[in-house]
Structure 1
């Protein structure tokens, strides 16, 4: 049974580290959420460690710049694990070959910057689809376009037997008041069409392995039963936490705000119905991180 809590402080003493989602929890894609920032700052002052675990396709350095732009202060977090870093590592190990067809916005070209920590990385060349050995997807070229517009290209890719590396498993995200499609929607379509998609963000294990390594690099050996995952996605944040056997705090006022009738807090019956429908069992729930 999911327990609704009033604040993070009500439960935080049970945990030595937090794995915290960003979009919908710490910022809304436009600006920082002040109550969430304050809650994380208080938690860190008690000695807890905050690992920001995000499905952003950007490298960690890019996320740091984005956080500063949104107004999230440095003292609200300790380290960052991104889906982009995990996916880039796989790409440079040759997961989808040397010649790749890229799907994404121009701003995501940083995904192809050299990965200095990897020994003997493969050489990656961006090529047209008909020359490709694999696909790298950081997101739609137009986040507002229906993913189904990619069906013709995906049909050819499937016929060629190409694997699709998905750098962001999120299906949608809310940028302020606007909902946008993410790479996960394209990967899901490709899989539905019979293609093979490779995932490296939440809810899949690689990003949690990375998050644990980043936590260990802080000098903290934290067992899983002392880690709390926080996020607003039942299919990403909560599903991933359940798969890793770690406790979770569901932020109902994010992606599922309407389904859970969240004002300040979720409606108890609406929350229960939503979680039952999604077959999800977070440990705790709260309207917004505070």
Structure 2
């Protein structure tokens, strides 16, 4: 078991690492505004010669993730590249171009779902005629509850079709509100007996993409640091891939009087560990 350390800032440990794989939502922005201190920390790391690849479970290709940065205030010099669960999902979809897909989409108002499969020439159909369930999210991620979809999901389980989960996150904080994500539906699908393919964190496909983007900087796993706000995706992914992990508490937790105890208990509750923890990413 790793002894959890609590550095005051990234500057205290930056010299131990050549590359950072950094989560996006909850670490460098909250869906409404950039976290300035976090962005500055990544800029400073890069100025010292380190490589930064942002790694997100957003179910869209990376360009849509990056396009979202400018209005939020995330600077372009905070990262070298970005990979998304959408990128990894597209690779899974491309392997199955001959299949018929049943798409379970996210909020219609975002109008971003088509980016996930644009240009792949996929065929879509109804549940009773499809070979694969592509789960992008809930129809209304704020008002709906994942349990509302149990009967719908059972249609796919009964027909023994696999689900591709475009976003393994169960919840994400947008501004001050928590929204349900595709991962919550995938959990129900598995509980019902269905099989799920997860291209995003904490699974290997997205990390393989991220490592390829930083090149030689990730040649030594001991000099790669994963940063994130989720025990079950970011810290679990870091552990599975053999990287050090920095947990930041700007996501789903509410800071108590004793942050160190709170984080230790949180990680233990999920059966996970981290190398470091901070209340928020800062230099």
TM bucket normalised to smaller:
over 0.9
Secondary structure in structure 1 of the residue aligned to 2:213:
helix
| Partner SS, residue 148 of structure 1 | helix
Deviation string, structure 1 residues 196-218 (Cα, Å, up to 9, x no partner): 111011100111111111112xx
Q: In structure 1, what is the equivalent of residue 171 of structure 2?
A: 172
Instruction: Flag structure 1 segments of 5+ consecutive residues without an equivalent.
Output: 116-122
61-70 or 12-21, which moves further after superposition?
A: 61-70
> Which residue matches 1:276?
268
More relative contact order in 1 or in 2 (CA 8 Å, sep 6+)?
2
CA shift for structure 1 position 223:
1.3
Distance across 2 between alignment mates of 1:267 and 1:161: 45
Structure 1 CA distance for aligned equivalents of residues 272 and 256 of structure 2: 17
SS at match of 1:235: helix
Describe the superposition over 1:6-45 as per-residue Cα deviations: whole angstroms up to 9, x where unpaired: 1011101100000000000000011111000111111111
Q: How many residues align?
A: 275
Query: What is the CA deviation profile of residues 107-128 of structure 1, one whole-angstrom value per residue up to 9, with x for unaligned ones?
Result: 211111125xxxxxxx411211
The reply on whether 1:114 has 2:111 as its aligned counterpart is: no
Structure 1 residue 155: deviation in Å? 1.3
- Name 1:101's counterpart in structure 2: 102
Deviation sequence 1:248-268 (CA, Å, 0-9, x none): 100023212x2x527xxx522
Structure 2 counterparts to residues 176-191 of structure 1, below 5 A: 176-191=175-190
- Partners of 1:87 and 1:18 lie apart in 2 by 22
User: What TM-score do you get using the length of structure 1 for normalisation?
Assistant: 0.91
Instruction: Structure 2 unaligned segments of length 5 or more: list them.
Output: none
Q: 1:130-145 to 2 correspondence within 5 Å? A: 130-144=128-142, 145=144
Counterpart of 2:256 in structure 1 is 261
- For the 8 Å contact 1:234–1:280, the answer to whether it is kept is yes
In the TM superposition, what is the alpha-carbon distance from 1:275 to its structure 2 partner? 2.1
Counterpart for residue 18 of structure 2 = 16
Return the match for 1:245 from 242, 251, 257. Answer: 242
* Residue matched to 1:146: 145
Structure 2 Cα separation of the partners of residues 282 and 43 of structure 1: 20
CA contact (8 A) 1:16 1:222 kept: no
